[in-house]
């Protein structure tokens, strides 16, 4: 009898899990290939196979765009060299001393006012134009990832570094070497145009984007990066491994998600595996929680409000005949907007509390609020996309779907209206994505990024002046 009950119980549990997994797979399918959110940084894999660079960009643009293009053409060999230098010498989050010094030195050589060590190794470069006017900003992030590079590039990283007592290979696998280079490129072009600029441009070189827990953007703001001079708009770009060089992508409104986490521990006294009636089985209770969270998404949330809960870690037990004293679950929770964020948290807390109550289990739940969702101001992103279209041709500027990855650029968005563009750098003839040890960004994206972001900043200064 006892045995039959156990078999029946196991059957019900497995059926529930398979059913929920199937349901979950269907839900994901409807959304298309959103791909893995690998860590707190931008980690997206948006497959849009129909996007092709057409080459129209070569002949487009205003006369100013063509002047910018000429300067970019001239400085491009230097930018490629500096990108390769940064790529060969990557630094982990919170350790970006060399990169920050390189950026600060270059800013100084361009005649910018420079502040360093803001919120860690953050650098602010201030370019004051020849005429008074509004203030706009551009942010580039500088840190690399704990990944051992396997690209075989001549300038591949061989760097190793220690973090929290553990040694890692270090690699620019998220394209932040490109971001830093574009930041330097735009500063170089605009410093050549300095006399003509009516306004001020802030260049924000940010550390620790990949760090998660109160990363570089929040720290720079906390340490007053905009205390003395605040931008009326701030821009950024991120490499996109699904679009070729020559393509820019953009997402109006929410572009990336709130990144929160939950650490759940189901607690028991533990007992013999042969006598499960004598203690709470935290593995079974933990399994119920995993399944219930997916069912909660499907049955308790409005389908139009995107939410992802992934229990990415589940640890319990030591032997087949011991019911362990605990099961430890770690989940990442992705949402858009403050309301949905609050709602999902309440439902997770309720689900965990009641499943544990029904089993008579004790538990702890540590819910951490992380990076807020990246929100692209619709007007700002629309204007930026229009500038990109002017330069690259309409066919090469694509509106994309939002992503459930995260980006701490969102902290800057709380200081000023903001917009982040995606820069095509899809590897030629390769498939490795960002955060892969094999990721090779197409350097042809660098010149495009500099041309577009330079023009976007100048366009915004014009628009802000016209508004006054």
- Which residues, 6 or more positions from 108, have their beta carbon under 8 angstroms from its beta carbon? 114
The answer to whether residue 453 forms part of the interface with Zn ion (CB under 5 A) is no
Pick between residue 142 and residue 327 the one whose CB is nearest to Zn ion. 142
x/- site string to Zn ion, residues 382 to 421, per CB under 5 A?
Answer: ----------------------------------------
Residue 160 · residue 149 · CB < 8 Å? no
The answer to whether residue 174 forms part of the interface with Zn ion (CB under 5 A) is yes
Smallest separation (angstroms) from Zn ion to the CB of 45: 12
Closest listed residue to residue 184, CA positions, set 96, 63, 99, 88: 99
Pick between residue 24 and residue 422 the one whose CB is nearest to Zn ion. 422
Pick between residue 174 and residue 331 the one whose CB is nearest to Zn ion. 174
| CA dihedral for 50, 56, 60, 65, sign (positive or negative) | positive
The answer to whether residue 42 forms part of the interface with Zn ion (CB under 5 A) is yes
- Residue 448 sits at the vertex; the CA angle it makes with 446 and 451, to the nearest 5 degrees, is 110
Task: Select the span of 68-76, 166-174, 181-189, 300-308 touching Zn ion (CB under 5 A).
Answer: 166-174
Active site residue 31: no
How many residues of this chain interact with Zn ion, rule: CB under 5 A? 3
Residue nearest to Zn ion (CB): 41
The answer to whether residue 41 forms part of the interface with Zn ion (CB under 5 A) is yes
Active site residue 209: yes
Pick between residue 363 and residue 439 the one whose CB is nearest to Zn ion. 439
Bridge-based pairing state of the strands 307-316 and 397-399: unpaired
Selected catalytic residue, list 91, 141, 143, 403: 143
From the CB of residue 375, how many other CB atoms can be counted at a distance below 10 Å?
23
Smallest separation (angstroms) from Zn ion to the CB of 398: 20
The sheet carrying 131-141 orders its strands as 113-118, 122-128, 198-206, 131-141, 233-240, 418-424, 248-250, 397-399
Task: Select the span of 68-76, 174-182, 247-255, 436-444 touching Zn ion (CB under 5 A).
Answer: 174-182
The answer to whether residue 208 forms part of the interface with Zn ion (CB under 5 A) is no
**How much of the chain is helix, strand and coil, in % rounded to 5?**
40, 25, 35
Task: Select the span of 18-26, 36-44, 160-168, 244-252 touching Zn ion (CB under 5 A).
Answer: 36-44
Q: What is the DSSP letter of 33?
A: -
Selected catalytic residue, list 177, 209, 306, 442: 209
- Which residues, 6 or more positions from 223, have their beta carbon under 8 angstroms from its beta carbon? 118, 119, 122
The residues annotated with a catalytic role in the active site are 143, 209
Give residues in contact with Zn ion (CB under 5 A). Answer: 41-42, 174
């Amino acid at each position: 009898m006892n045995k039959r009950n156990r078999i029946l119980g196991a059957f019900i549990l497995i059926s529930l899990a398979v059913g929920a997994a199937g349901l979950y797979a269907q839900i994901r399918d409807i959304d298309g290939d959103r791909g893995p959110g690998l860590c707190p940084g931008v980690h997206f894999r948006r497959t849009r196979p129909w996007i092709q660079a057409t080459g129209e960009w070569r002949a487009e643009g205003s006369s100013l765009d063509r002047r910018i293009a000429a300067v970019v053409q001239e400085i491009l060999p230097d930018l490629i060299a500096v990108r390769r230098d940064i790529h060969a010498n990557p630094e982990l989050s919170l350790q970006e001393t060399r990169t920050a010094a390189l950026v600060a030195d270059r800013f100084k050589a361009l005649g910018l006012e420079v502040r360093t060590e803001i919120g860690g190794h953050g650098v602010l470069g201030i370019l004051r134009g020849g005429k008074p006017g509004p203030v706009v900003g551009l942010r580039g992030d500088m840190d690399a990832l704990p990944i051992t590079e396997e690209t075989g590039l001549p300038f591949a990283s061989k760097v190793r570094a220690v973090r929290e007592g553990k040694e890692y290979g270090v690699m620019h696998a998220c394209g932040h070497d490109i971001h830093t280079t574009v930041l330097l490129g735009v500063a170089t072009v605009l410093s050549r145009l300095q006399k003509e600029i009516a306004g001020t441009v802030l260049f924000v070189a940010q550390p620790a984007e990949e760090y998660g827990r109160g990363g570089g953007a929040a720290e720079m703001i906390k340490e007053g990066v905009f205390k003395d001079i605040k931008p009326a708009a701030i821009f950024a770009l991120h490499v996109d491994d699904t679009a070729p060089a020559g393509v820019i992508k953009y997402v109006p409104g929410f572009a990336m998600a709130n990144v929160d986490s939950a650490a759940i521990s189901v607690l028991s006294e533990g007992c013999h595996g042969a006598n499960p009636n004598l203690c709470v089985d935290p593995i079974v209770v933990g399994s119920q929680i995993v399944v219930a969270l997916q069912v909660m998404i499907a049955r308790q949330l409005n389908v139009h409000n995107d939410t992802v809960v992934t229990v990415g870690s589940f640890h319990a037990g030591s032997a087949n005949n011991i019911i362990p004293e605990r099961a430890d679950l770690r989940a990442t929770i992705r949402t858009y907007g403050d309301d949905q964020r609050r709602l999902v948290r309440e439902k997770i807390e309720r689900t965990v509390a009641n499943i544990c109550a029904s089993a008579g289990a004790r538990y702890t739940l540590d819910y951490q609020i992380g990076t807020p969702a990246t929100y692209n101001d619709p007007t700002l992103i629309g204007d930026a996309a229009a500038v990109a279209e002017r330069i690259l041709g309409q066919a090469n500027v694509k509106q994309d779907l939002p992503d459930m990855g995260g980006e701490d650029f969102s902290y800057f968005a709380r200081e000023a209206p903001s917009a982040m563009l995606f820069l095509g750098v899809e590897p030629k003839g390769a498939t490795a994505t960002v955060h892969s040890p094999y990721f090779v960004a197409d350097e042809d994206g660098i010149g495009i990024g500099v041309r577009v972001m330079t023009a976007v900043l100048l366009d915004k200064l014009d628009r802000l002046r016209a508004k006054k």
